Amino acid sequence: MSPVRPPLAGAFSAFRGFVVKEVRHILRDWQTLLILIGMPVAQVLLFGYAVRSDVRGVKLAIVEPQPDAATQSLRARFEGATGTFTLVKVVRNVAELDTDFRSGDVRQAIVLPTDFAGRLGRDERVPVQVVTDGADPNTGGIMEADALAVLRQWHVAREAGTPGAQGVRIDVETRMRFNPTLESVNLFVPGLIAYVLTIVSALMTAITIVREKELGTMEMLLVSPLRPRQIVIGKVAPYVLLGFLDVVLVLGASQVIFHVPLRGNVPLLLAESTLYTLTALSMGIVISTAASTQRVAMMAALAGTMLPTMLISGFIFPIAALPWPLRVLSNVVPARWFIIIVRGIMLKGAGLADLWRETLILAGITTALIAVGIRRLAVRLTG
Amino acid sequence: MTPPAARPLAIDATALTRRFGSFTAVDAITFHVRPGEVFGFLGANGAGKTTAMRMLIGLLTPTEGEATVAGWSVATESEQIRRNIGYMSQKFSLYDDLTVGENVELYGGIYGLTDAEIRDRRSALLARLGLATHERSFVKSLPLGWKQQLAFSVALLHRPKIVFLDEPTGGVDPITRRKFWEMIYETAAGGTAVLVTTHYLDEAEYCDRLSIMVDGRIAAMGTPDDVKRAAGVASLDELFLRLTRPGAVEPAA
């Protein structure tokens, strides 16, 4: 026996009324709304100014056992790199720096050999040591790369054609190509979009659905002619819009304040962001089917979506630097793929032809999550 | 058994059973409710009243047995059932951050009423409840008694054939309870069947018929007078205590 379907117009107006209700909930909880709109801008400022991993004013020492013309000119080069380096000490022996390293008065030392100018003149391989305070591996790595860059520039300027440290050169060039000023804010903005969308979409969706369970209104809705599918879509639809608004805000703020480049196609970027919003929403839906209280939903969303988005997506720590179990795990973190997409579009001007693989993965994850979410919701609520 | 000729039963349950793992919450209950009847479900907490109700309204699937609501099978035709029933849950079921008018509008919309129908029924409903001046008030600002009367009226907005009330009068004062029961009678007089769970025994006396559930089974069923007469007790109170605490020594009358 085929069930009698309600007329389409009626079903649609029921759905529309339901969305209107959800919009009213959002607008009336103006404190939350203010956070959701203000947070992205605050995050851009925070990451742009405070959490940037560019290293400024590194306290540098130069160890020159035997000053000569070459050491003088190298020293001048580092002194010229004001902003990045502050030359605080010139000593004869690296051992003299032990206490300075410990106290943090010196963060990095360039150790030159004896007879520097002479050996360079004879075309020998000249050992130069760069000692870096590695207590904070992130900044340590950056300081090291910066120092190597200065060394290389000096070397190239001095003797064009003589290769310096090979392994390093390629690394530096890679970074130079897409991020010539080495501004970390450029790298953070794509991750930030993923992060903000995760909060707005996954966290808020999980909370808003579980809230109805807690209040008992979910039962009323499930007993009504609305289908579980309509309830879920109606509840999350306004958040798609809110997520979109946040993407525009993050992009706008990073353009206006930090002049982050946007080399690729803007409609493509917005389309990919909408896809990721759907991914995050579906994560929220899956969480909401498992959580019975808003508190549980919130903790699950924090641990299950926000932490992976921050830590194992390439947002803050490079994927390559993760231990292998986390590297494997990162494959199912949607933010990982989304960040590749956004970085590609914004910094490299990549198009869909370059990013179809990541887009497909994201679409696949989303489809799977939505299927699981709606299925579980229906089963969960009808026991 | 031949079904009643004139009108189909509002609810017809046969050996309806629900188990959760090895625990049997509702154990093969058989009962029926006629249109326009006020049927009470009595029982201690955990006796299975709410579980039974949730099966009838489609929030739980029965493990065994059958039931029809408004003539539709709970197992296979829950969609049709949903259009024909109203439900008011134990928990308060309106939205606090919406106004009185917006709540009415929302439910009207969900049940597919036209804008004109919603407008008409909303003003009639508000006038009846004396809430006409509160259309734009937020529900959270209303006293609990008003909220519950409003929730009940909203559950009736689409004129369901059967309305299910799950402990509707918890926490309200006696005067409001009295008013609430007047509303229930009015509804039943209009031909709507009312299935109400309660553990207030005075409320049980107001029902046309009632069933007392103990450990998932129906221990007694009939009109309040029939039930008392059959058990040879003077009050439902006494019967309820005897059924729910069989070992207890009865106080000397």
State how far the Cα of B40 lies from the Cα of B199, in Å rounded to an integer.
10
- The pLDDT confidence band at residue A159, using thresholds 50, 70 and 90, is low
User: Which residues in chain B are closer than 8 Å to A20, comparing Cβ atoms?
Assistant: 106
| Residues whose CB falls within 8 Å of the CB of residue A102, separated by 6 or more in sequence, listed in order | none
d(CA B129, CA B236): 32
Candidate ranges A266-270, B1-5, B86-90, B241-245; pick with highest mean pLDDT: A266-270
Chain B residues with CB under 8 Å of A4 CB are 80
pLDDT score for B2: 45
Q: What percent of chain A has pLDDT over 70?
A: 84
Residues with Cβ within 8 Å of A305's Cβ and at least 6 positions away in sequence, in order, are A198, A202, A203, A280, A283, A284, A287
Quick one: three-class SS letters along A22-39?
HHHHHHHCHHHHHHHHHH
User: CB-CB: which of A1, A4, A224 is closest to B110?
Assistant: A224
Tokens at B124, concatenated: 């009639």
Min Cα distance A223 → chain B (Å) is: 6
- Residue A211's nearest CA partner among A235, A181, A233 is A235
Q: Supply the pLDDT for residue B137.
A: 93
Q: A224–B77: do the CB atoms touch at under 8 Å? A: no
Examine the pLDDT at A111 and tell me if it is beyond 90: no
Higher pLDDT, B37 or A36: B37
Which of helix, strand or coil describes residue B72?
A: strand
Stretch B153-163: mean pLDDT, rounded?
94
Model confidence pLDDT, tens digit, residues B170-218: 778 888 888 899 999 999 999 999 999 988 888 888 999 999 999 999 9
Q: What is the pLDDT of residue A165?
A: 38
Asked whether residue B7 carries a pLDDT value surpassing 70, the answer given is: no
> What is the pLDDT, as a whole number, of residue A383?
44
Q: What are A82-104's pLDDT values in tens digits? A: 778 888 888 888 888 888 877 77
**Radius of gyration for chain B, computed over Cα atoms and rounded to the nearest angstrom:** 19
Question: pLDDT at position B107, please?
Answer: 92
Query: What secondary structure letter does DSSP report for B147?
Result: H
Interface probe with A: pick from B85, B110, B139, most Cβ of A within 10 Å: B110
Of residues A365, A362, A366, A368, the one with CA closest to residue A339: A362
| Residue B197 and residue B166 in contact, taking contact as beta carbons nearer than 8 Å | yes
Range of lowest pLDDT (A127-131, A229-233, A346-350, B137-141)? A127-131
> At which residue do the structure tokens 């209280």 appear?
A293
Cα separation, B167 vs B49, in Å, equals 10
Query: What pLDDT shows up at residue B3?
Result: 46
> Residue A247: which of A200, A290, A214, A206 has the closest Cα?
A200
Range of weakest confidence among A30-39, A60-69, A371-380: A371-380
Q: Tokens in use for A16?
A: 């529309």
Enter the tokens of residue A57.
Answer: 């004013």
**Amino acid at residue number A299:** M
The reported pTM is: 0.74
The number of C-alpha atoms within 13 Å of A112 and in the hemisphere containing its C-beta is 26
Q: How many residues does chain B have?
A: 253
Q: Summarize the confidence of residues A315-321 as an average pLDDT.
A: 79
Mean pLDDT of B89-118: 90
pLDDT band (50, 70, 90) for residue A136: low
Query: Under an 8 Å CB criterion, which residues of A touch B?
Result: 1, 3-4, 6-7, 10-11, 13-14, 16-18, 20-21, 24-25, 28-29, 215-217, 219-226, 381-383
- Looking at residue A183, its pLDDT comes to 56
Q: What is the pLDDT of residues A288-300, one digit of tens each?
A: 888 889 999 999 9
What average pLDDT does range B42-64 have in this prediction?
90
Q: Which of B177, B105, B106 is nearest to B144 (CA)?
A: B177
Statement: residue B47 has pLDDT above 80: yes
Position A171 pLDDT exceeds 70: no
ipTM metric = 0.86
Chain A closest-CA separation from residue B250 CA (Å): 39
For A244-303, write each residue's pLDDT tens digit: 999 999 888 888 887 888 888 999 999 999 999 999 999 999 998 888 899 999 999 989
Q: A366 to chain B nearest CA, in Å?
A: 28
- Answer yes or no: is pLDDT of B151 > 80: yes
Average pLDDT over residues A329-345: 92
Which residue is closest to B75 within chain A, CA to CA? A382
Q: Are strands B162-166 and B193-198 parallel, antiparallel or unpaired?
A: parallel
Q: Which of B85, B89, B105 sits opposite A219 (nearest CB)?
A: B89
Largest Cα–Cα distance of chain B, in whole Å?
A: 61
Q: Among positive and negative, which fits the CA dihedral B195, B200, B206, B211?
A: positive
| Secondary structure of residue A323 in the 3-state scheme | coil
Neighbours of A16 (CB within 10 A): 12
Placement of tokens 């939505």 in the chain: A370
C-alpha to C-alpha distance for A367 and A362, rounded to whole angstroms: 9
Arithmetic mean of pLDDT over chain B: 88
Report the distance separating Cα B180 and Cα B167, nearest Å: 12
Higher-confidence residue of A261 and A159: namely A261
**How large is the average pLDDT for residues A13-42?**
87
Residue type, position A364, single letter: G
**Is the Cβ–Cβ distance between A22 and A235 less than 8 Å?**
yes
Q: Which residues of B touch A14 (CB under 8 A)?
A: 109-112
How high is the pLDDT of residue A54?
63
